[in-house]
Protein backbone atom coordinates (compact mmCIF):
# COMPACT_ATOMS: atom_id res chain seq x y z
CA UNK A 1 0.00 0.00 0.00
CA UNK A 2 1.35 3.42 -0.98
CA UNK A 3 0.70 6.24 1.46
CA UNK A 4 1.31 9.95 0.98
CA UNK A 5 1.63 12.45 3.83
CA UNK A 6 1.32 16.14 2.98
CA UNK A 7 3.46 18.41 5.16
CA UNK A 8 7.03 18.55 6.33
CA UNK A 9 7.36 19.16 10.07
CA UNK A 10 7.74 17.21 13.30
CA UNK A 11 4.03 16.41 13.32
CA UNK A 12 4.32 14.81 9.90
CA UNK A 13 7.40 12.85 10.97
CA UNK A 14 5.45 11.47 13.96
CA UNK A 15 2.52 10.52 11.69
CA UNK A 16 4.87 8.85 9.20
CA UNK A 17 6.69 6.83 11.86
CA UNK A 18 3.38 5.59 13.21
CA UNK A 19 1.93 4.73 9.80
CA UNK A 20 5.12 2.82 9.02
CA UNK A 21 4.22 0.35 11.78
CA UNK A 22 1.42 -0.99 9.57
CA UNK A 23 2.76 -4.04 7.69
CA UNK A 24 0.60 -3.40 4.64
CA UNK A 25 2.42 -0.12 3.96
CA UNK A 26 5.07 -0.56 1.28
CA UNK A 27 6.04 3.03 0.63
CA UNK A 28 5.46 6.43 2.23
CA UNK A 29 5.91 9.71 0.39
CA UNK A 30 6.25 13.01 2.25
CA UNK A 31 5.32 16.21 0.36
CA UNK A 32 7.67 17.98 0.90
CA UNK A 33 8.93 16.25 4.06
CA UNK A 34 12.40 17.32 5.17
CA UNK A 35 15.93 15.96 5.10
CA UNK A 36 15.61 14.61 8.64
CA UNK A 37 12.89 12.14 7.72
CA UNK A 38 14.61 10.68 4.67
CA UNK A 39 15.04 7.31 6.43
CA UNK A 40 11.32 7.01 7.02
CA UNK A 41 9.79 8.39 3.83
CA UNK A 42 10.58 9.35 0.27
CA UNK A 43 10.60 13.14 0.30
CA UNK A 44 9.10 14.77 -2.77
CA UNK A 45 9.83 18.42 -3.41
CA UNK A 46 6.24 19.66 -3.74
CA UNK A 47 5.07 22.51 -1.53
CA UNK A 48 2.26 21.58 0.88
CA UNK A 49 0.19 24.51 -0.43
CA UNK A 50 0.46 23.47 -4.07
CA UNK A 51 -2.67 21.36 -3.98
CA UNK A 52 -2.88 20.82 -7.75
CA UNK A 53 0.65 19.42 -7.91
CA UNK A 54 -0.16 17.27 -4.86
CA UNK A 55 -3.22 15.79 -6.57
CA UNK A 56 -1.26 15.19 -9.81
CA UNK A 57 1.47 13.42 -7.87
CA UNK A 58 -1.06 11.22 -6.07
CA UNK A 59 -2.73 10.17 -9.32
CA UNK A 60 0.51 9.56 -11.23
CA UNK A 61 1.99 7.50 -8.41
CA UNK A 62 -1.11 5.42 -7.67
CA UNK A 63 -1.31 6.58 -4.07
CA UNK A 64 -3.73 4.41 -2.09
CA UNK A 65 -4.16 6.71 0.89
CA UNK A 66 -3.34 10.35 1.59
CA UNK A 67 -3.01 12.16 4.90
CA UNK A 68 -3.20 15.95 4.66
CA UNK A 69 -1.67 17.24 7.89
CA UNK A 70 -1.16 21.07 7.77
CA UNK A 71 -3.87 23.72 7.98
CA UNK A 72 -3.07 25.56 4.72
CA UNK A 73 -3.71 22.75 2.22
CA UNK A 74 -6.80 21.67 4.17
CA UNK A 75 -8.27 25.17 4.05
CA UNK A 76 -7.30 25.43 0.36
CA UNK A 77 -9.26 22.26 -0.42
CA UNK A 78 -6.54 19.60 -0.83
CA UNK A 79 -8.87 16.86 0.41
CA UNK A 80 -11.68 17.94 -1.93
CA UNK A 81 -9.30 17.82 -4.88
CA UNK A 82 -7.75 14.48 -3.94
CA UNK A 83 -11.18 12.91 -3.42
CA UNK A 84 -12.35 14.22 -6.79
CA UNK A 85 -9.38 12.35 -8.21
CA UNK A 86 -10.41 9.15 -6.46
CA UNK A 87 -7.80 9.21 -3.70
CA UNK A 88 -8.93 8.10 -0.21
CA UNK A 89 -7.93 10.80 2.29
CA UNK A 90 -7.61 11.64 5.96
CA UNK A 91 -8.54 15.25 6.69
CA UNK A 92 -11.55 17.55 6.45
CA UNK A 93 -12.83 19.09 3.24
CA UNK A 94 -12.44 22.86 2.84
CA UNK A 95 -16.00 23.60 3.94
CA UNK A 96 -15.22 21.95 7.31
CA UNK A 97 -11.59 23.13 7.61
CA UNK A 98 -13.05 26.63 7.90
CA UNK A 99 -13.50 25.84 11.61
CA UNK A 100 -9.79 26.74 11.84
CA UNK A 101 -9.54 28.87 8.71
CA UNK A 102 -11.89 31.55 10.02
CA UNK A 103 -12.09 32.60 13.65
CA UNK A 104 -15.21 34.61 12.85
CA UNK A 105 -16.83 31.40 11.57
CA UNK A 106 -15.83 29.34 14.61
CA UNK A 107 -16.86 32.00 17.14
CA UNK A 108 -20.25 32.44 15.44
CA UNK A 109 -20.69 28.65 15.34
CA UNK A 110 -20.06 28.39 19.07
CA UNK A 111 -22.45 31.24 19.81
CA UNK A 112 -25.20 29.76 17.62
CA UNK A 113 -24.95 26.30 19.21
CA UNK A 114 -24.25 27.33 22.81
CA UNK A 115 -20.73 25.90 22.94
CA UNK A 116 -18.78 27.55 25.78
CA UNK A 117 -16.15 30.05 24.63
CA UNK A 118 -14.87 33.54 25.50
CA UNK A 119 -17.34 36.41 24.90
CA UNK A 120 -16.42 38.31 21.72
CA UNK A 121 -17.18 40.94 19.11
CA UNK A 122 -16.35 40.80 15.39
CA UNK A 123 -15.12 43.83 13.42
CA UNK A 124 -14.60 44.47 9.71
CA UNK A 125 -14.05 48.18 10.25
CA UNK A 126 -10.99 49.56 12.04
CA UNK A 127 -12.72 52.69 13.36
CA UNK A 128 -15.43 50.61 14.99
CA UNK A 129 -12.83 48.29 16.54
CA UNK A 130 -10.82 51.25 17.91
CA UNK A 131 -13.99 52.78 19.28
CA UNK A 132 -14.99 49.51 20.97
CA UNK A 133 -11.60 49.06 22.62
CA UNK A 134 -11.93 52.45 24.37
CA UNK A 135 -14.28 50.88 26.90
CA UNK A 136 -13.68 47.15 26.48
CA UNK A 137 -12.33 45.10 29.40
CA UNK A 138 -8.51 44.90 29.50
CA UNK A 139 -6.60 42.60 29.01
CA UNK A 140 -8.28 42.01 25.67
CA UNK A 141 -7.48 39.32 23.15
CA UNK A 142 -7.23 40.47 19.53
CA UNK A 143 -7.38 37.76 16.85
CA UNK A 144 -6.96 37.98 13.09
CA UNK A 145 -9.78 36.08 11.39
CA UNK A 146 -7.71 33.91 9.06
CA UNK A 147 -4.64 31.68 9.25
CA UNK A 148 -1.54 33.52 10.48
CA UNK A 149 1.06 30.81 11.19
CA UNK A 150 -0.12 30.66 14.79
CA UNK A 151 0.86 34.31 15.30
CA UNK A 152 -2.49 36.02 14.74
CA UNK A 153 -3.40 36.26 18.43
CA UNK A 154 -2.33 39.21 20.54
CA UNK A 155 -3.05 39.45 24.23
CA UNK A 156 -3.15 43.16 24.91
CA UNK A 157 -2.35 44.05 28.51
CA UNK A 158 -3.10 47.74 28.01
CA UNK A 159 -5.50 49.79 25.89
CA UNK A 160 -2.52 51.14 23.92
CA UNK A 161 -1.34 47.61 23.10
CA UNK A 162 -4.86 46.72 21.99
CA UNK A 163 -5.04 49.76 19.70
CA UNK A 164 -1.62 48.94 18.23
CA UNK A 165 -2.72 45.36 17.60
CA UNK A 166 -5.89 46.49 15.83
CA UNK A 167 -3.94 48.92 13.65
CA UNK A 168 -1.24 46.39 12.79
CA UNK A 169 -3.83 43.84 11.69
CA UNK A 170 -6.39 46.08 9.98
CA UNK A 171 -4.27 48.96 8.68
CA UNK A 172 -0.72 47.65 8.26
CA UNK A 173 -2.03 44.21 7.26
CA UNK A 174 0.78 42.36 9.02
CA UNK A 175 -1.18 39.13 8.48
CA UNK A 176 -2.38 40.11 4.99
CA UNK A 177 -6.02 39.36 4.24
CA UNK A 178 -6.26 37.33 7.46
CA UNK A 179 -6.65 40.69 9.24
CA UNK A 180 -9.53 42.01 7.11
CA UNK A 181 -11.81 40.88 9.90
CA UNK A 182 -10.80 40.62 13.53
CA UNK A 183 -12.26 39.15 16.69
CA UNK A 184 -11.85 40.94 20.01
CA UNK A 185 -12.52 38.63 22.90
CA UNK A 186 -12.63 38.34 26.62
CA UNK A 187 -9.38 37.32 28.32
CA UNK A 188 -9.83 33.98 30.08
CA UNK A 189 -7.62 32.37 32.68
CA UNK A 190 -7.00 28.79 33.72
CA UNK A 191 -4.93 25.78 32.71
CA UNK A 192 -4.86 25.05 28.97
CA UNK A 193 -5.47 21.60 27.58
CA UNK A 194 -5.13 20.33 24.03
CA UNK A 195 -7.47 17.52 23.05
CA UNK A 196 -7.03 16.07 19.58
CA UNK A 197 -9.86 13.85 18.43
CA UNK A 198 -10.65 11.45 15.61
CA UNK A 199 -14.06 12.01 14.09
CA UNK A 200 -15.91 10.66 11.07
CA UNK A 201 -18.72 13.17 11.55
CA UNK A 202 -20.83 10.69 13.53
CA UNK A 203 -18.54 9.41 16.27
CA UNK A 204 -15.92 11.45 18.08
CA UNK A 205 -13.02 9.70 19.80
CA UNK A 206 -10.85 12.01 21.89
CA UNK A 207 -7.17 11.09 21.96
CA UNK A 208 -5.10 11.30 25.11
CA UNK A 209 -4.99 14.90 26.40
CA UNK A 210 -1.82 16.98 26.22
CA UNK A 211 -0.27 20.28 27.28
CA UNK A 212 1.62 22.58 24.93
CA UNK A 213 4.26 25.13 26.01
CA UNK A 214 3.75 28.01 23.62
CA UNK A 215 6.09 30.68 24.95
CA UNK A 216 9.72 30.76 23.84
CA UNK A 217 11.24 31.08 27.32
CA UNK A 218 11.28 29.16 30.60
CA UNK A 219 8.40 29.86 33.00
CA UNK A 220 6.18 30.88 30.10
CA UNK A 221 8.08 34.06 29.27
CA UNK A 222 8.96 35.54 25.90
CA UNK A 223 7.15 35.41 22.58
CA UNK A 224 4.51 32.96 21.49
CA UNK A 225 5.90 30.21 19.27
CA UNK A 226 4.42 27.26 17.41
CA UNK A 227 5.11 25.26 20.58
CA UNK A 228 8.33 24.52 22.49
CA UNK A 229 7.34 21.18 23.98
CA UNK A 230 4.46 19.02 25.12
CA UNK A 231 3.52 16.42 27.70
CA UNK A 232 0.72 13.87 27.79
CA UNK A 233 -1.56 13.14 29.49
CA UNK A 234 -2.45 16.59 30.85
CA UNK A 235 -2.92 16.26 34.64
CA UNK A 236 -5.52 19.05 34.74
CA UNK A 237 -7.79 17.07 32.43
CA UNK A 238 -9.59 14.79 34.90
CA UNK A 239 -12.17 12.14 33.89
CA UNK A 240 -14.93 14.48 35.17
CA UNK A 241 -13.72 17.32 32.98
CA UNK A 242 -13.37 14.94 30.04
CA UNK A 243 -17.01 13.92 30.47
CA UNK A 244 -18.13 17.53 30.65
CA UNK A 245 -16.14 18.38 27.51
CA UNK A 246 -17.68 15.47 25.63
CA UNK A 247 -21.22 16.61 26.54
CA UNK A 248 -20.83 20.36 26.24
CA UNK A 249 -18.12 20.78 23.61
CA UNK A 250 -17.07 17.77 21.52
CA UNK A 251 -20.43 16.27 20.54
CA UNK A 252 -22.15 19.68 20.16
CA UNK A 253 -19.35 20.77 17.80
CA UNK A 254 -19.64 17.66 15.60
CA UNK A 255 -23.43 18.06 15.52
CA UNK A 256 -23.19 21.78 14.81
CA UNK A 257 -20.91 21.14 11.82
CA UNK A 258 -23.32 18.49 10.49
CA UNK A 259 -26.22 20.89 10.94
CA UNK A 260 -24.38 23.52 8.92
CA UNK A 261 -23.80 21.02 6.10
CA UNK A 262 -20.08 20.99 6.91
CA UNK A 263 -19.49 17.46 8.22
CA UNK A 264 -16.01 17.29 9.73
CA UNK A 265 -13.95 14.15 9.07
CA UNK A 266 -10.38 13.91 10.24
CA UNK A 267 -8.60 15.16 13.34
CA UNK A 268 -10.42 17.92 15.15
CA UNK A 269 -8.25 19.68 17.72
CA UNK A 270 -9.91 21.33 20.70
CA UNK A 271 -7.78 24.00 22.37
CA UNK A 272 -9.44 24.34 25.76
CA UNK A 273 -9.08 26.54 28.80
CA UNK A 274 -10.32 25.17 32.11
CA UNK A 275 -11.82 28.31 33.62
CA UNK A 276 -13.50 28.68 36.99
CA UNK A 277 -16.84 28.58 35.19
CA UNK A 278 -16.00 25.40 33.28
CA UNK A 279 -14.04 24.35 30.19
CA UNK A 280 -14.17 26.78 27.28
CA UNK A 281 -12.94 26.58 23.70
CA UNK A 282 -9.96 28.85 22.98
CA UNK A 283 -9.54 27.59 19.43
CA UNK A 284 -10.35 24.80 17.05
CA UNK A 285 -7.75 23.40 14.69
CA UNK A 286 -8.77 21.29 11.73
CA UNK A 287 -5.71 19.04 12.07
CA UNK A 288 -3.24 17.35 14.38
CA UNK A 289 -1.45 19.84 16.66
CA UNK A 290 2.27 20.38 16.46
CA UNK A 291 4.04 19.45 18.81
CA UNK A 292 1.06 17.74 20.54
CA UNK A 293 1.20 14.94 17.94
CA UNK A 294 4.75 14.11 19.04
CA UNK A 295 3.47 13.01 22.47
CA UNK A 296 -0.02 11.77 21.55
CA UNK A 297 0.86 9.35 18.74
CA UNK A 298 3.70 7.60 20.61
CA UNK A 299 1.06 6.69 23.22
CA UNK A 300 -1.42 5.33 20.65
CA UNK A 301 -1.51 1.54 20.81
CA UNK A 302 -4.04 0.95 18.03
CA UNK A 303 -2.73 0.98 14.46
CA UNK A 304 -2.95 4.60 13.28
CA UNK A 305 -3.60 3.86 9.61
CA UNK A 306 -6.53 1.60 10.52
CA UNK A 307 -8.08 4.34 12.64
CA UNK A 308 -7.58 6.87 9.86
CA UNK A 309 -9.17 4.55 7.31
CA UNK A 310 -12.12 3.98 9.66
CA UNK A 311 -12.57 7.77 9.79
CA UNK A 312 -12.50 8.00 5.98
CA UNK A 313 -15.02 5.18 5.62
CA UNK A 314 -17.35 6.54 8.32
CA UNK A 315 -16.76 3.44 10.45
CA UNK A 316 -15.03 4.95 13.46
CA UNK A 317 -17.62 3.44 15.86
CA UNK A 318 -16.50 -0.02 14.75
CA UNK A 319 -12.90 0.33 15.88
CA UNK A 320 -11.49 0.49 19.40
CA UNK A 321 -8.90 3.24 19.81
CA UNK A 322 -6.57 2.43 22.69
CA UNK A 323 -3.97 4.65 24.33
CA UNK A 324 -1.25 3.45 26.67
CA UNK A 325 -1.45 4.53 30.31
CA UNK A 326 2.14 5.75 30.18
CA UNK A 327 3.28 9.38 29.98
CA UNK A 328 5.18 11.17 27.24
CA UNK A 329 7.27 14.32 27.06
CA UNK A 330 8.52 16.07 23.92
CA UNK A 331 11.17 18.80 24.11
CA UNK A 332 11.56 20.97 21.03
CA UNK A 333 15.09 21.90 20.04
CA UNK A 334 15.00 25.16 18.10
CA UNK A 335 17.49 27.50 16.48
CA UNK A 336 18.55 30.32 18.83
CA UNK A 337 16.48 33.40 18.01
CA UNK A 338 13.31 31.50 17.03
CA UNK A 339 10.52 32.64 16.58
CA UNK A 340 12.00 35.88 15.21
CA UNK A 341 15.36 35.63 13.50
CA UNK A 342 17.71 32.72 13.44
CA UNK A 343 20.56 31.23 11.44
CA UNK A 344 20.39 27.85 9.78
CA UNK A 345 22.62 25.50 7.83
CA UNK A 346 24.52 24.08 10.83
CA UNK A 347 25.44 20.40 10.95
CA UNK A 348 22.85 18.41 12.90
CA UNK A 349 24.04 15.29 14.75
CA UNK A 350 21.39 12.82 15.89
CA UNK A 351 23.01 9.57 17.14
CA UNK A 352 21.53 6.50 15.44
CA UNK A 353 20.57 4.86 18.74
CA UNK A 354 18.08 7.60 19.61
CA UNK A 355 16.83 8.36 16.08
CA UNK A 356 13.52 6.54 16.67
CA UNK A 357 12.72 9.03 19.47
CA UNK A 358 13.36 12.10 17.37
CA UNK A 359 10.89 13.86 15.09
CA UNK A 360 12.66 16.21 12.72
CA UNK A 361 10.92 19.46 11.81
CA UNK A 362 13.50 21.71 10.19
CA UNK A 363 16.46 20.00 8.53
CA UNK A 364 17.87 19.56 5.06
CA UNK A 365 20.52 17.43 3.44
CA UNK A 366 23.36 19.53 2.05
CA UNK A 367 26.39 17.82 0.46
CA UNK A 368 25.36 14.53 2.11
CA UNK A 369 25.25 16.16 5.55
CA UNK A 370 22.15 16.79 7.63
CA UNK A 371 21.93 20.49 8.49
CA UNK A 372 19.45 22.67 10.38
CA UNK A 373 16.91 24.36 8.16
CA UNK A 374 14.24 25.95 10.35
CA UNK A 375 13.22 27.63 13.58
CA UNK A 376 11.96 24.49 15.21
CA UNK A 377 14.57 21.89 14.33
CA UNK A 378 13.29 18.74 16.02
CA UNK A 379 11.34 17.23 18.89
CA UNK A 380 12.86 14.68 21.28
CA UNK A 381 10.19 12.42 22.79
CA UNK A 382 10.42 9.98 25.67
CA UNK A 383 7.66 7.61 26.80
CA UNK A 384 7.86 6.30 30.36
CA UNK A 385 5.70 4.84 33.11
CA UNK A 386 5.38 8.22 34.82
CA UNK A 387 5.65 11.86 33.81
CA UNK A 388 8.74 12.62 35.85
CA UNK A 389 10.75 9.87 34.18
CA UNK A 390 9.43 10.85 30.76
CA UNK A 391 10.63 14.43 31.31
CA UNK A 392 14.07 13.27 32.53
CA UNK A 393 14.44 10.88 29.63
CA UNK A 394 13.40 13.48 27.05
CA UNK A 395 16.19 15.75 28.29
CA UNK A 396 18.64 12.83 28.20
CA UNK A 397 17.83 12.49 24.50
CA UNK A 398 18.22 16.25 23.99
CA UNK A 399 21.68 16.09 25.59
CA UNK A 400 22.86 13.65 22.94
CA UNK A 401 21.87 15.87 20.00
CA UNK A 402 24.18 18.63 18.86
CA UNK A 403 24.01 21.56 16.48
CA UNK A 404 25.33 25.12 16.61
CA UNK A 405 22.94 27.69 18.14
CA UNK A 406 20.61 25.07 19.59
CA UNK A 407 18.00 26.40 21.97
CA UNK A 408 15.39 24.66 24.09
CA UNK A 409 13.32 25.31 27.18
CA UNK A 410 14.52 23.67 30.38
CA UNK A 411 11.12 23.44 32.04
CA UNK A 412 8.94 21.40 29.70
CA UNK A 413 6.50 19.47 31.89
CA UNK A 414 7.46 21.26 35.12
CA UNK A 415 4.04 22.85 35.55
CA UNK A 416 2.28 19.56 34.84
CA UNK A 417 4.47 17.76 37.33
CA UNK A 418 3.62 20.33 39.99
CA UNK A 419 -0.09 19.94 39.22
CA UNK A 420 0.22 16.18 39.46
CA UNK A 421 2.01 16.36 42.80
CA UNK A 422 -0.59 18.82 44.12
CA UNK A 423 -3.44 16.41 43.52
P1 LIG B 1 -4.26 30.47 19.54
O2 LIG B 1 -3.30 30.80 18.42
O3 LIG B 1 -5.68 30.77 19.23
O4 LIG B 1 -3.99 29.10 20.10
O5 LIG B 1 -3.88 31.44 20.74
C6 LIG B 1 -2.59 31.44 21.24
C7 LIG B 1 -2.63 31.46 22.72
O8 LIG B 1 -3.21 32.67 23.15
C9 LIG B 1 -3.49 30.38 23.36
O10 LIG B 1 -2.82 29.18 23.52
C11 LIG B 1 -3.80 31.02 24.69
O12 LIG B 1 -2.73 30.84 25.60
C13 LIG B 1 -3.91 32.47 24.37
N14 LIG B 1 -5.30 32.87 24.21
C15 LIG B 1 -6.06 32.84 23.11
N16 LIG B 1 -7.31 33.28 23.36
C17 LIG B 1 -7.34 33.60 24.68
C18 LIG B 1 -8.34 34.13 25.57
N19 LIG B 1 -9.56 34.42 25.15
N20 LIG B 1 -8.00 34.33 26.85
C21 LIG B 1 -6.75 34.06 27.29
N22 LIG B 1 -5.77 33.58 26.52
C23 LIG B 1 -6.06 33.35 25.23
N1 LIG C 1 0.48 23.43 19.11
C2 LIG C 1 -0.60 24.20 18.66
C3 LIG C 1 -1.00 24.01 17.27
O4 LIG C 1 -0.65 23.04 16.63
O5 LIG C 1 -1.69 24.86 16.74
Instruction: Dump pLDDT digits (tens) for 190-220.
Output: 999 999 999 999 999 999 999 999 999 999 9
Q: Does domain 119-186 have CATH number 3.30.1490.20?
A: yes
When pLDDT is averaged across residues 134-163 and rounded to a whole number, the result is 91
- The alpha-carbon radius of gyration of the chain (Å, integer) is 21
Q: How far is the CA of 401 from the centre of ligand 1 (A)?
A: 32
Class level of CATH domain 327-421: alpha beta
When pLDDT is averaged across residues 80-92 and rounded to a whole number, the result is 98
pLDDT for position 147: 87
When pLDDT is averaged across residues 151-166 and rounded to a whole number, the result is 93
* CB-CB neighbours of 367 under 10 Å: 5
- Asked if the model's pLDDT at residue 184 lies above 80, the reply is yes
Atom of ligand 2 lying closest to residue 291 CA: 1
Would you list the domain boundaries of the chain? 2-93, 119-186, 192-318, 327-421
When pLDDT is averaged across residues 32-59 and rounded to a whole number, the result is 97
- Asked if the model's pLDDT at residue 152 lies above 90, the reply is no
Lowest pLDDT segment from 77-81, 144-148, 248-252: 144-148
Q: Which CATH number fits domain 192-318: 3.30.470.20, 3.40.50.1370, 3.20.20.70, 2.60.40.1180?
A: 3.30.470.20
When pLDDT is averaged across residues 399-404 and rounded to a whole number, the result is 98
CA distance 360 to 377: 6
- Asked if the model's pLDDT at residue 262 lies above 90, the reply is yes
Q: Is 289 in the pocket of ligand 2 (CB under 6 A)?
A: yes
Q: Please report the beta strands in 44-111, taking only residues with DSSP state E, as ranges in sequence order.
A: 65-68, 88-90
pLDDT for position 421: 85
Atom of ligand 1 lying closest to residue 282 CA: 16
pLDDT band at 149 (very low <50, low <70, confident <90, very high): confident
Residue 16 backbone dihedrals phi, psi, to 5 degrees: -65, -45
When pLDDT is averaged across residues 96-106 and rounded to a whole number, the result is 96
Q: How far is the CA of 282 from the centre of ligand 1 (A)?
A: 6
Pairing of strands 229-232, 211-212: antiparallel
pLDDT for position 422: 79
Where are the alpha helices (H) located in 236-354, listed in sequence order?
239-245, 251-259, 293-296, 304-312
What is 231-259 written as a DSSP string? EES-TT--HHHHHHHIIIIIHHHHHHHHH
Residue nearest to atom 4 of ligand 2 (CA): 289
Which ligand lies nearest to the CA atom of residue 154 in the structure? 1
When pLDDT is averaged across residues 295-323 and rounded to a whole number, the result is 98
Among residues of the chain, what percentage have pLDDT more than 90?
A: 96
Residue nearest to atom 2 of ligand 1 (CA): 150
Taking alpha carbons only, the member of 174, 137, 180 closest to residue 158 is: 137
Find all residues with CB under 8 Å of 124, minimum gap 6, and list them. Answer: 180, 181
When pLDDT is averaged across residues 238-245 and rounded to a whole number, the result is 98
- Asked if the model's pLDDT at residue 148 lies above 90, the reply is no
- Asked if the model's pLDDT at residue 224 lies above 90, the reply is no
Residue nearest to atom 18 of ligand 1 (CA): 187
CA distance 362 to 373: 5
Q: Is 413 in the pocket of ligand 2 (CB under 6 A)?
A: no
Helix (H, G, I), strand (E, B) or coil at 357: helix
347-383 pLDDT, tens per residue?
999 999 999 999 999 999 999 999 999 999 999 999 9
54 in Cβ contact with 46 (< 8 Å): yes
Q: Is 290 in the pocket of ligand 2 (CB under 6 A)?
A: yes
| Topology adopted by domain 2-93 | Rossmann fold (3.40.50)
Among residues of the chain, what percentage have pLDDT more than 70?
A: 100
3-state secondary structure 136-177: CCCCEEEEECCCCCCCCEEEECCHHHHHHHHHHHHCCCCCHH
Mean pLDDT (the chain) is 96
Amino acid sequence: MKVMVVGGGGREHAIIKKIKENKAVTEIFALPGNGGMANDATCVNIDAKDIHKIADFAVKNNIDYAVVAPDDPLVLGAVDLLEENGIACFGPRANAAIIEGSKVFSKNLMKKYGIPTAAYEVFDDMKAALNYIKTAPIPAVIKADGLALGKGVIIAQTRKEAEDAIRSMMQDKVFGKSGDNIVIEEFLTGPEVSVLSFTDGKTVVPMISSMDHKRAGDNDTGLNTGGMGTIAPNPYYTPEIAKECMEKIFLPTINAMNNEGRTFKGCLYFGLMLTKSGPKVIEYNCRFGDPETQVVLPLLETDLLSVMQAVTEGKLSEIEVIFSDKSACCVIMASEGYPVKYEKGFELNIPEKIADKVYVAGAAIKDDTLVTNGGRVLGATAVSDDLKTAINNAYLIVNQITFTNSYYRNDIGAKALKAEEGR
